Structure 1
Amino acid sequence: MPLRHAASPRARVLTTLIVAILAAPMAHGQSAPTDGAAKTLDQVVVTGVRASNRTSLDSPVPVDVLTEQDLRNAGAVNGELGAALAVLLPSFNFPRQSNSGGSDHVRSAQLRGLSPDQVLVLVNGKRFHTSALVNTDTKIGNGTTPVDFNAIPISAIKRVEVLRDGAGAQYGSDAIAGVVNIILKDAPQGGEVNTTYGAYHTHFSPTDRAITDGQGGYASADFGSTLGGTGFFHAGVETSHHAGTNRAGYDTVPDFIADPTPANLALQGKRNYAAGDPPNESYNGWFNSELPLNENARLYWFGTYTQRHTVGDNYFRYPDSDANIPSIYPDGYLPQSIGHNRDVQTAGGLRGNLGEWSYDGSLNWGSNAFDYDLRHSLNASLGAASPTYFHIGNYTFDQATANLDASRPFELGGRPVTLAVGTEYRHENFRTGAGDPASYAVGPIDAPAGAQAGGGLQPQDVADLSRNVQAAYVELSSDVTDNFFVDAAGRYEHYSDFGGNWSGKLSARWEFTPGFALRGAASNNLRAPSLSQIGYEATTTGYGADGRLVTGRILSVNNPLAQGLGAQPLKPEKSRNFSVGLTGQLGSAFDFSLDVYQIAIDHRVTLSETIDNDGLEAYIQQQFGIAGVQSVQFFTNAVNTITRGAELVGNYRTSVAGGNLLLTLAYSHNNTQIRSVEATPPQLIAAGADNVLFGVEARNTLTDAAPRQRGSFTAKWDNARWSLLSRVTRQGATTRVFDFGDGYVPTQTYVPRFQLDAEVEYHLTSQLSVALGGDNITNQYPTRSNSDINYGGNFPYDVISPIGSNGAYWYGRVRYTF
């Protein structure tokens, strides 16, 4: 049950004390270098511990530091930040979805194989908001509203710090898998102009065709200027346009998809479906600034803006089916979803020094608005009068945060100690708006009602939920001896809808011999269910995994119908994280880190399996007086999991042929197991359903659908004129499980694949360079899906393989710095 009690007296006292001693928050951390040395473990980091001057080498927890140069060398298609992180971090998964509803427009990322909403994202140390769109038709990230990494302009980034450890005591809710802190450019002069153009060129075996598609360009420009003498203003714009890809196979029109009538059979052997990346165009702007007021105080203000338009494909509707009106689409139709995504984040504040205290006080606001439309669709129940374009709903999420943090050094027993304290207030609001009436209308024709490929949100589905969160933390860091560092943090958070929670973290590092150290951490962390998981509702008509057309409802746990079927109020997820690691450095040539970890999570919030057993529609109508509901889903806390893993990073540097050679090996392994599953509610058993809240498909999503292992080996050589890079990545195995009912559970494992990327860059002058490169240049594809899973030959490759199904991508880049 949710925690309903008020904040305890201890929490109120702690908050009062912290507020009383604060003059404003914590000092801004030192910036990491942005040159080639960024691949070492000895940079200053500002994520993971609030003691100043800690580096990635002597941090008590694993922190990856990725520079602007690293991101550029990742060869990210069309400037996608998420894709770049997936190339550079084996523990980061960013699958390309297709025919997956909202995931065609907002891609979900995973860290350490956990859910996309179990990683916290910061920009300049400030909490970044999540997407408003609820992903309910996808595999990875099903039921989540993740952070949209691609809403953060990649050209704005100075470096990225990725903390691979639980950090709820330091940063608050969501930091179960880790924290991604994105640091914006802050140079007070100079800038760059960058343009890239590329396309996929591949031989596609399922159709035995050479395909060139996905053509697109990316361009960015940024500049810096001094502000107030020692301050800065740095800003930029970027834009990206690219066509879609299609890797659908030839349609066999099998019986389970559509009746084998002459009109339908005439489509055999044709490419009726589409499977691949959606067409995409985006426009982004950003700025980062700081203005000195005096020697001890500085104003700062930064922000990002993204506007993106995408087109996603859905399942083909055959000409002779109850989902079609032949007078409108005599040859059938392929509905397409249209996404209009607007994202903004801005934060400003005052930082400086007051006596012994360093302070930082800030206000932070972020918002995501997503409008969802459909084209090439129809509402079959309206007959020939049906429109073919629908507005099916809009989603909005707003997050406003106020922070007050402070830190100061002092001595205790002759040893240096850093004290950091802070408070936070956050207000969140999630809203949905109904689609146009035709998108959900029940017309006079005895046919499926609502727009095909996603009926519009109905007035009864509309949600408007808000909550407030207050938090206070304290953190102590100290070099207890010259070789032993300890950091301890505690945090109290109070949610207006869940009550209070304490979280804590203890981490330490022991350098047992010069250059070599053991490190470890233990923490408990929390993730409150998102407002969308609490209040989202939708009514849809679409094809299930077994090819049947189903009208269903996703119900809020507060809906009486959901409660009548066994839904319970959602509880927060709670984790217990443990890690231990070994780091080493041999001179300036070689460094490495090896970390192992365990994350046990209770009450994981998941979307239930689709409950669509025989007799459910009649049961709901008889018991609740609601007609036409053939399937139901709602969110649950039905499962407890445990994830164990290991991560290795190693770097070797040397001089070769008049240049510098850097070799990097990175490897990640994680294994998630189901510890326990809640029993099926008696209300569902009474409705004739059994073992449906968390069935085989949901188990597969959490345990095997993402790769358990990923590794990469990168070699980079450069001198004043040339830069050569090659990277071999081993994408691990993934497994897909479907449950078609009646014991029919087809399963397939997609074996590991090796991917080769390469790039060569030539500096024409000290300011102008050109580059040519390719991703997956050996044109590797996943294992072909078998006939049980490939949907009649239409989807020869599954979307869950991280190597994707687009084949080789080639690009060229021109870059000018000034």
Structure 2
Amino acid sequence: MFSHHRKTALTGAITLALFVQGAHAQDAKPANASTLDQIVVTGTHAKDRTVLDSPVPIDVLTPEDLRSAGAVNGELGSALATLLPSFNFPRQSNSGGSDHVRAAQLRGMSPDQVLVLVNGKRFHTSALVNSDTKIGRGTTPVDFNAIPISAIKRIEVLRDGAGAQYGSDAIAGVVNIILDDAPEGGEVTSSYGAYHTNFRPTGRTITDGQSSYASAKFGTKLGASGFFRAGLESNQHDATNRAGPDQIPSWENQSPANLALQGKRNYAAGDPKNENYSGWLNAELPLGDTVTAYAFGIYTQRHTIGDNYFRYPDSDANVPAIYPSGYRPESIGTNRDINLTTGARGHFGEWDIDSSLTWGGNSFAYNLRDSVNVSLGDESPTQFRIGKYSGTQGTANIDLSRPFEWGSTLYTLATGAEYRRETFRTYAGDPASYAVGPIVGAPTGAQAGGGLTPQDTANLSRHVGAAYVDLSADLTEKFFADAAARYEHYNDFGGAWTGKLSGRYAFTPDYALRGAISNNIRAPSLSQVGFESTSTGYGANGELVQGRVLSVNNPIARGLGATDLQPEKSRNISLGFTARVGEHFDASLDIFRIDVDHRVTLSETIATDGLESYILAHFGVPGVQSVAFFTNAVDTRTRGAELVANYRNALYGGNFTLTGTYSYNRTSIRNVRDTPTQLAALGADAVLFGLEERNTLTDASPRQRGALTARWDSTHWGLLTRLTRQGSTTRVFDFGDGFVPTQTYAARWQLDAEVEWRATERLSLALGGQNITDQYPTRSIPDIAYAGNFPYDVISPIGVNGAYWYGRVRYSF
């Protein structure tokens, strides 16, 4: 429910908005410069490229776009998912670490196949390994929600392979976040919202997920042309729960104590509770006439509480003396991100030079409460320190560029070098979290995620060096071309060349073809090389399983056929058409294909009947009922198309914009490595890459997504409505013995709307809603709904929370 002070504030905002509804809008403000005419700095080193002039597709998002996205809890990832049809940001639940760090996809590719830059400098990834999720399983992606949304001046999203220009990971594209650099003035923003929904599985109207957001930023001049800009941001989000009435799973003990819980909501399914605090700065200081020093940085700390499966009173996973009525463990994550850059840019003769040092890091402390180590019996604690993950990335860059004339053609030459050092380290949990207690035959380790054991811990580092060259020019009045090459060397994987050719041919000043061809690489992350974990939890079939994720260097993994990982290698091809019809209409259509060889994934969770005895007999390790390890088992091909169209015109004293976007991508499996003979010998169900992982790559994410957004702005009013079609998704479970529950969740239409009243030039108030028609995914079939506890699947992009309503106030100075 709403707290009293929050309810009063929101009621006041609604009353004020209704009071002024009768006011007439004054003359419209001049239209803002179209983002089509914005000079972009991503995708080419030429200094005169705009969105439609670029040889590759680029989206530009402004602060106004991000505000209008109505992001729940100020999440940058949620805003990008609303605004970009190629961007998927699924909400997870009961998914271990993925409840705390959400992974994003671009063009349907893996979360770690997109490169994120801040002011053009590489941003670090998360240290947490997503081993218990569906989308992004086995990845350590960039945490988009670690970047404060109030810090952003604009975002440039390059939808094309760009490894030759920016380095590894840029297989699907590049997201370049440009920080606010205003030399004076500031802004204070506050918003509050909540989900209010008719939840049909329980027949109740639910209000939960209350979210509050506040940010403040200011700027001041430094010297004649420098600046200092800084801000603070806070957002808090209460948990949501969309679990259904429990019908008690058939595989659980049908005892009176368990059956007494039938019909109750014993589980929780929805968003985790979230508290997030951020600070940021961006500064430049001229040092004479030719050199400017700069620095920028971001710090974020987040505390989250996620849910896990309920443990019944009469269960092998319970100690009745501690939990006579059963229990539901909660995971607790403390996430810290820091990213700092300092450097200088200047002009030396004909050259523009930019040299910088960047250091970024993430630490994630993982804990459990309301849990138990059953093997310790009545002496078990109920809170555990599960482990800690840490990753750092230090980068030194030097970039040079200059124009030069050859014949009658003016070229832009860019070159540079980069050195990067990466580290990954994990720390063991407390001894009780992984202990094998005196209760014989009982599950060992903390329930819902046993602690990292001393033998699980990893401490890895590596060095990466790279050099590149990029040459671009308008070869004729109609044809622009760009060629780039890069050599990158990893001390653990060796070296590789990448290259890219792109071009744009303008038939007329308003119509053009564009295209690109490139090859790109992504070396396995250090976490994919060295991460190991031991856990006790529920498998896909609902039965309690003690399992391990093994590095490929572990003797057990080697004994099951694991081999050294290889870098992923992609070949990207794209072709596009752009058009600008008069002053009011523009459109772009791009088609693409991405072939990835040696794609890095986690294997299937291998849990055959003979596995435990095999590991005990050959390696002397008891109690291991399931294993998974990283592998290059699959080659994929992703085909797709993306359409963006805009119409702009004056209307009723204001400026009207209508934008249509559509994205389609389809991933198919080109080749699968044979299951190793050692693994196949354990039984027909022991496969390296099977139905569930195929489903993860091909059908678990939506293939299609489209949106139609209408926006009208005048001096005092802003109106927005957005209709989005979230495409269908498919879930596949493989429970063994031919039992493969499968369900396709139908496409859904989502309607968002917002009205903003600009009371003065400085003060504005807004009211809005997302999914205001309160749509939910298709109800899950009984074999997937887990005895009614999970009536909706989280893989549907429309989510499982229903309608969200919010109010916002903003004051600039």
TM-score, normalized by length of structure 2? Answer: 0.96
* Secondary structure class of the residue paired with 2:78: helix
Aligned-pair CA distance for 1:206: 0.5
Structure 1 residue matching 2:201: 3-state secondary structure:
helix
Q: What does residue range 239-254 of structure 1 map to in structure 2 within 5 Å?
A: 239-254=234-249
1:685 aligns with: 680
8 Å CA contact retained: 1:616, 1:688:
no
Pick from 346, 352, 364 the counterpart of residue 346 of structure 2: 352
Contact 2:31 2:655 in 1 (8 A): no
Larger CA deviation: 691-700 vs 747-756 = 691-700
Q: Paired residue for 2:771, among 768, 776, 787?
A: 776
Matching of residues 140-219 of structure 1 within 5 Å:
140-219=135-214
- Among 522, 530, 536, the alignment partner of 1:535 is 530
Instruction: Name 1:221's counterpart in structure 2.
Output: 216
Q: Partners of 2:715 and 2:245 in 1: how far apart?
A: 51
Aligned residue for 2:100? 105
Name the CA distance, whole Å, in 1 between partners of 2:587 and 2:342: 37
User: Tell me, what secondary structure is at the counterpart of 1:780?
Assistant: coil
- Any unmatched runs of 5+ in structure 2? 1-28
Q: Does the CA contact (< 8 Å) of 2:606 and 2:686 recur in 1?
A: no
Q: How far did 1:587 drift? A: 2.1
- Give SS of 2:278's match: strand
CA distance in 2, matches of 1:399, 1:647: 33
CA distance in 2, matches of 1:38, 1:431: 47
1:305 to 291, 299, 319: 299
The reply to whether residue 394 of structure 1 matches residue 394 of structure 2 is: no
Name 1:676's counterpart in structure 2.
671
The within-5 A match list for 1:343-492 is 343-446=337-440, 447-492=442-487
Q: Distance in 2 between matches of 1:624 and 1:482?
A: 69
**Cα distance, 1:259 vs structure 2:** 1.2
1:426/1:466 CA distance change after superposition, 3 Å = same
Contact 2:685 2:737 in 1 (8 A): no
Change (3 A) 1:249 1:690: closer
Q: Secondary structure of 2:316's match?
A: coil
User: Is 2:243–2:268's contact at 8 Å kept on the other side of the alignment?
Assistant: yes
The answer as to 2:549 corresponding to 1:554 is yes
* CA-to-aligned-CA distance 1:369-389 (integer Å, 9 cap, x gap): 000000000000000000000
Structure 1 residue aligned with 2:276: 282
Match of 1:513 in 2: 508
1:53 match? 48
1:331 aligns with 2:325: yes
What amino acid sits opposite 1:254 in the alignment? P
Looking at structure 2, the residues matched to 541 and 335 of structure 1 have their Cα atoms a distance apart, in angstroms, of 12
Name the structure 2 match of 1:787.
782
Distance, in Å, in 1 between the alignment partners of 2:262 and 2:453 is 37
User: Is 1:86 matched up with 2:81?
Assistant: yes
Aligned CA distance change for structure 1 residues 203 and 369 (closer, same or farther; 3 Å): same
- Counterpart-to-counterpart distance in 1, 2:429 and 2:684: 31
Q: Which residue of 2 aligns with 1:565?
A: 560
1:615 corresponds to: 610
Q: Distance in 2 between matches of 1:35 and 1:241?
A: 36
CA distance in 2, matches of 1:689, 1:297: 67
Determine if contact 1:519/1:581 at 8 Å carries over to the other structure: yes
Please tell me whether residue 632 in structure 1 is matched to residue 607 in structure 2.
no
Shift of 1:685: 1.9
Residue of structure 1 in register with 2:7 after alignment: none
1:623 Cα deviation from its structure 2 partner:
1.3
- The answer to which of 37-46 and 597-606 deviates more is 37-46
- What is the aligned-residue RMSD (CA, Å)? 1.0
Alpha-carbon distance between aligned partners in 1 of 2:76 and 2:33, rounded to the nearest angstrom? 18
1:223 to partner: Cα distance: 0.4
User: Is residue 524 from structure 1 mapped to residue 519 from structure 2 by the alignment?
Assistant: yes
CA distance in 1, matches of 2:629, 2:203: 43
* 2:399 and 2:417 in contact (8 A); partners too: yes
Report the CA distance between 1:686 and its aligned residue. 2.7
SS of alignment partner, residue 398 of structure 1: strand
2:654 paired residue number = 659
Shift of 1:242: 1.6
Q: Secondary structure at the match of 2:301?
A: strand
Contact 2:699–2:729 (CA<8 Å) still a contact in 1? Answer: yes
- Say if 1:541 and 1:550, in contact at 8 Å, map to a contact too: yes
User: CA shift at 1:627, angstroms?
Assistant: 1.1
Match of 1:41, SS? helix
Which position in structure 2 is the counterpart of 1:29?
A: none
Local SS of the residue matching 1:206: coil
Q: Tell me by how many angstroms 1:691 deviates.
A: 5.5
| 2:263 paired with 1:269 | yes
Matched to 2:419, the amino acid is Y
Query: Contact between 1:35 and 1:69, CA under 8 Å: does it hold in 2?
Result: no
| Secondary structure in structure 2 of the residue aligned to 1:207 | coil
Once the two structures are TM-superposed, the CA of residue 513 in structure 1 deviates from its matched residue by 1.8
Cα distance in 2, alignment partners of residues 384 and 758 from structure 1: 54
Give the aligned length: 784
Q: 3-state DSSP class of the match of 2:562?
A: coil
Misfit runs of 4+, over 6 Å: none
Counterpart CA distance in 2 for 1:216 and 1:646 is: 36
Q: TM-score, normalised by structure 1?
A: 0.95
Kept in 2: contact 1:247–1:276 (CA 8 A): yes
1:690 Cα offset (Å): 5.0
Matches of 1:626 and 1:241 in 2, distance apart? 44
For the residues of structure 1 that align with 2:520 and 2:136, how far apart are their CA atoms?
20
Tell whether the 8 Å contact from 1:40 to 1:651 is kept in structure 2 after alignment: no
Distance 1:246 1:36 in 2: 43
| Partner of residue 9, structure 2 | none
1:746 to 741, 749, 757: 741
Q: C-alpha offsets along residues 349-382 of structure 1, whole Å, 9 cap, x if unaligned?
A: 0101000000100000000000000000000000
Q: Is the 1:38–1:65 contact (alpha carbons within 8 Å) kept by the matching residues of 2?
A: no
Higher mean alpha-carbon deviation, 619-628 vs 776-785, is at 619-628
Q: 1:595 aligns with which of 583, 590, 593?
A: 590
Task: Look up the match of 1:6.
Answer: none
Q: Supply the distance in 1 between the matched residues of 2:761 and 2:503 (Cα, whole angstroms).
A: 44
Letter in 1 for 2:461: S
Aligned-residue offset at 1:39: 5.2
Residue 72 of structure 2 corresponds to which residue in structure 1? 77
Aligned residues of 1:658 and 1:719 also touching (Cα < 8 A): yes
SS in 1 for 2:36: coil
CA contact (8 A) 1:38 1:66 kept: no
1:426 aligns to what SS in structure 2? strand
Q: Which amino acid aligns with 1:523?
A: S
Q: In structure 1, how many angstroms separate the alpha carbons of the residues matched to 2:436 and 2:757?
A: 62
In structure 1, runs of 5+ residues without a counterpart are 1-33
Change (3 A) 1:35 1:69: farther
Which residue of 1 is the match for residue 314 of structure 2? 320
The 1:599–1:36 alpha-carbon spacing in structure 2 relative to 1, beyond 3 Å, is farther
The amino acid across from 2:367 in the alignment is D
What is the alpha-carbon distance in structure 2 between the residues aligned to residue 418 and residue 40 of structure 1?
Answer: 24
Q: Deviations over 1:182-237 (max 9, x none)?
A: 00000000110000000000000000000000012000000010012210000000
1:39–1:65 CA contact under 8 A, matched in 2: no
Secondary structure of residue in 1 paired with 2:37: coil
Give distance in 2, aligned partners of 1:250 and 1:83: 29
C-alpha separation in 2, matches of 1:254 and 1:93:
32
